[in-house]
A and B are shown apart, each in its own frame.
Chain A
Amino acid sequence: MRRDRRRDDVTEVTRRKLRVATTSLAGCFGCHMSLLDIDERLFALLERIEFDRSPLTDIKRCGPCDLGIVEGGICNAENVHVLREFRANCKILVAIGACAVTGGLPAQRNHLDLGQCLQEVYLTEPSVSKGLIPNDPELPLPLDKVHPLHEIVKVDYFIPGCPPSGDAIWKFLTDLIDGRTPKLGYGLIHYD
């Protein structure tokens, strides 16, 4: 039987569960839903991984992880902080879905002037009873443009699609966990 040499290199990692953090930044959660679209394979996956910070857990800060999966682009200051936290803690960082890879649909606002948008919504709209632009220090400052992840930090893998299918995510994760170079075939890559 042919042995995969790369497999030996990662025996140490595969002996314990891979620690995985996930987050959604300026996205819609669709990529996280697609992760859940692996359906009952989730239980097999849980034999091999454990979750760190993720919308599925109550861990609020990312600790040291083998893998970080980031959905959504970067639209405000808080997104930048979270992305840097992930990069600093995750050995491998994956940009998942159209928004993380290119900015996606939220980046359609990039040709608009943000200040004018805010004024239009909160000041000139006739139905609002008290016109004011939300400006509390608790609200992270929006960036003037929406950015893809790789404009802020180094990204190791990009999975396109809006969203990538559950099958694509399953193939990617199992390749990585088994020590293979992740490879999505023709049927699993799409750019919708």
Chain B
Amino acid sequence: MDTTALETATQPERLRRVVIEPLSRVEGHGKVTLLMDEDDHVQQARLHIVEFRAFEKFIQGRPYWEVPVMVQRLCGICPVSHHLAACKALDQVVGATELTPTAEKIRRLMHYGQILQSHALHFFHLSSPDLLFGFDSEVGRRNIVGVAAAYPDVAKQGVLLRKYGQEVIRHTAGKRIHGTGSVPGGVNKNLAADERAALLADIYQIVAWSRDAVRMVRQLFEQNLELYRSFATFPAHTLSLVRADGALDLYHGGLRARDADGRTIFDHVDYDHYWERISEDVKAWSYMKFPFFKELGPEQGWYRVGPLTRVVRCDFIPTPLADRERREFLAFDDGRAAASTLGFHWARMIEMLHSAEAIKDLLHDDDLLGTDLMAGGKRQARGVGVIEAPRGTLIHHYRVDENDQVVRANLIVSTTHNNQAMNLAIREVARRYLDGRKLTEGLLNHIEVAVRAFDPCLSCATHAMGKMPLSVQLLDAAGEQVDQLVRG
């Protein structure tokens, strides 16, 4: 497909500018600009990320053990992702190639708690108003307050699902937002028996409500099939972590890249050398970079991450209820729902159900109560940690000197991977729904509905201070590698 159509108008000075600012019911700072000609045809549509921060720069010089609590301040919605990705990278630095069973399971519990709360927040608090009331419904009602008035049970379940996830985080990380539970080499607390009992008391209700949420999205698809199967939809390459046996694994795995038809680009790649596969492009109009698969180049190599990618591209989900819902999702409407952009919502709720089931299973595991919390080994100079955050693949990479100070850091966050895909989504909507029409608030909200499907975390995406590692290979005349130099 032409990825540059509607990106840049040829004569912008002659066009009328329409701006959607700030994007609302998404996390962080972004805006969409449209340039329209005198016949109301869209000539240009761009999603801009407008904030510039400096996290990777100012953590340089800090002792490495501060990093997991510092970098999670990138994002208050998914702090656990950054907390854990940083710890996974720094596990390598402290030589903890394998965690104790208690540490690994406490971290997983924390992570599933966060997936649960973040997905609940996104669906119920942020996106459900569009889906329940309609994309162009009255602006004053199109929010969680309106949902609470019209669908009190739905709103209540959303609030309580999120609450449960936050409580899982509090019991494992010490605090609901910006906790401290994970440390390089392990965790600093186990789960106490009374904490386990408190979480067990509600988990079956949480699993049931999560399944109801999946069914609700299915109903929304059934009621609006024409709209849902095509809205903001286009083919895309995908990137996600998968377990060695192909299962969905949100905490650890190898990198899997597929093309739009599901053909393998690469699979089970060790993420330690991610920069051999991924590079980033810069455009003048956004602080957020544009990642792409190196072997396909910046024009064709862009890709999509997140729940839709993970659920569709894994081979199976290792919990029974979520796996059954996955199979129904893949089969629905001859596979068109699984290829649609609004399918993000369905996949997100399937992941929420999976997280609830995984929490239930973990809570029955006595390893959580263990006291062997820390592992260690031979000190290393660098480490890479990758995790599947609620919004997609999250990469943290650090180099630490002999004084234990961070000397280099690179973060590629989930939302950045989706930069090109989100831009294509708004252009598809602009072309189909806005072109040649008088723009109304409801029509403009269609653009935001497309952006929201990706659940972007624009705060995360604005750290923008990274330095990708550089790898130089010396090949002989026959193409055999003679030497390799890696900086990073």
Contact = CB atoms under 8 A, between A and B. Distances in A.
Interface of A: 24, 26-34, 36-37, 39-40, 42-43, 46, 50-51, 54-60, 75-76, 78, 104-106, 108-109, 111-112, 117-118, 120-122, 125-136, 138-140, 142, 162-163, 165-166, 192
B156 to A, nearest CB: 7
Interface in B348-405: none
Contact of B76 (A27, A125, A139): A27
A129 B468 CA distance: 12
Contacts of B269: none
Interface of B: 20-22, 24-29, 31, 33, 46, 48, 50-54, 57-58, 70, 73-77, 79, 121, 125-126, 139-140, 142-145, 148, 155-156, 159-160, 162-163, 166, 175-178, 275, 279-287, 289, 298, 445, 448, 459, 464-470
Given A128-B468, A139-B285, 12 more contacts: A28-B76, A55-B25, A56-B144, A56-B145, A58-B143, A59-B139, A60-B24, A112-B58, A125-B467, A127-B275, A139-B287, A165-B176
B281 A46 contact: no
A78 to B, nearest CB: 6
A130 to B, nearest CB: 6
B163 A40 contact: yes
Nearest to B467: A125
A17 to B, nearest CB: 11
15 contacts: A29-B27, A37-B176, A40-B160, A40-B163, A43-B156, A43-B159, A55-B22, A109-B57, A121-B466, A125-B466, A128-B282, A128-B468, A130-B281, A130-B282, A162-B73
Contacts of A163: 76, 177-178
Contact of A37 (B58, B166, B178, B289): B166
B474 to A, nearest CB: 16
Contact of B33 (A26, A57, A138): A138
Given A138-B46, A192-B178, A29 B58 contact: no
Contact of B58 (A24, A27, A109, A139): A109
Most A Cβ at <10 Å: residue of B28, B125, B139, B177: B177
- The residue among B53, B75, B142, B280 with the most chain A CB atoms within 10 A of its own CB is B53
Contact of A121 (B51, B121, B177, B465): B465
A75 B463 CA distance: 12
A46 B148 contact: yes
A20 to B, nearest CB: 11
B143 A56 contact: yes
Contacts of A50: 145
A32 B76 contact: yes
Most chain A C-beta atoms within 10 Å of own C-beta, residue among B24, B29, B46: B29
A105 B66 CA distance: 12
Contacts of A135: 284
Contacts of A192: 175, 178
A34 B466 CA distance: 29
Given A136-B48, A139-B287, A127 B159 contact: no
A27 B160 CA distance: 25
A29 B57 contact: no
Contacts of B145: 46, 50-51, 56-57
A28 B74 contact: yes
Contacts of A54: 24
B228 to A, nearest CB: 21
A28 B73 contact: yes
Contact of B279 (A30, A111, A127, A140): A127
Nearest to B487: A126
B470 A126 contact: yes
Contacts of B286: 134, 136, 139
Contacts of A27: 76, 459
Contacts of A32: 76
A57 to B, nearest CB: 4
Contacts of B160: 39-40
Contacts of A126: 467-468, 470
A78 B162 contact: no
B54 A112 contact: yes
A89 to B, nearest CB: 16
A32 B25 CA distance: 12
* Listed residue (A32, A34, A128) with the most chain B CB atoms within 10 angstroms of its CB: A128
Contact of B75 (A29, A75, A111, A138): A29
B73 A128 contact: no
A132 B286 CA distance: 11
A29 B33 contact: no
Given A31-B76, A132-B284, A36 B143 contact: no
A58 B57 contact: no
B177 A34 contact: yes
Contacts of A129: 279, 281, 298
Given A56-B144, A163-B177, A138 B31 contact: yes
Nearest to B294: A127
Nearest 7 A/B pairs, CB to CB: A30-B76, A127-B468, A136-B285, A109-B54, A108-B58, A28-B76, A29-B76
Nearest to A190: B175
A120 B467 contact: yes
Given A43-B148, A46-B148, A128-B280, A36 B125 contact: yes
A166 B176 contact: yes
